[in-house]
């Protein structure tokens, strides 16, 4: 979970506006903004995200083509009970760490080293 306090689901209270790699502006929840920027820096295309506002698990959605890369980077799929074959949403890594710090990304380092 994240550090939101009193932010309702669907609210834009805790967002920052980031410029996506394609130049489009996008409102992103502050708790996961650094992580989203990092994911974009890999060339992964996101379809949507939410930090969960400390109420429910957050998610980072990516396009089909990038799901394999996310898994190899150590991301866990956030399964959708309604559609178990849908593996396009991932649990933000910044939620795995109590201090809210990002873990760093072994796969990416290995991938770059080649
Ligand atoms: Zn949050």
Stretch among 81-85, 92-96, 103-107 having the lowest mean pLDDT: 103-107
Alpha carbon of 113 to ligand 1 centroid (Å)? 33
Tokens linked to 19: 């410029």
Calpha distance 34→29 (Å, rounded): 10
How much is the pTM?
0.80
Alpha carbon of 80 to ligand 1 centroid (Å)? 20
Report pLDDT digits (tens) over 29-73.
998 999 999 999 999 999 999 999 988 889 999 999 999 999 998
Calpha distance 114→108 (Å, rounded): 10
Alpha carbon of 67 to ligand 1 centroid (Å)? 23
Alpha carbon of 32 to ligand 1 centroid (Å)? 7
Calpha distance 78→90 (Å, rounded): 5
Domain spans of the chain, in order of start: 15-113
pLDDT for 10: 82
Alpha carbon of 35 to ligand 1 centroid (Å)? 12
């Amino acid at each position: 979970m994240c550090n939101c306090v009193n932010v309702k689901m669907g609210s834009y209270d805790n967002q920052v506006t980031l410029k996506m790699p394609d130049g489009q502006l996008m409102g992103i929840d502050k708790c996961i903004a650094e992580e989203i920027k990092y994911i974009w820096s890999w060339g992964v295309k996101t379809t949507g995200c939410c930090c969960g506002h400390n109420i429910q698990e957050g998610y980072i959605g990516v396009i089909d083509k990038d799901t394999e890369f996310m898994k190899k980077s150590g991301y866990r799929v956030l399964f959708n009970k309604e559609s178990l074959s849908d593996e396009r949403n991932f649990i933000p890594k910044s939620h795995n760490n109590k201090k809210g710090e990002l873990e760093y990304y072994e796969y990416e380092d290995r991938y770059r080293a080649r």
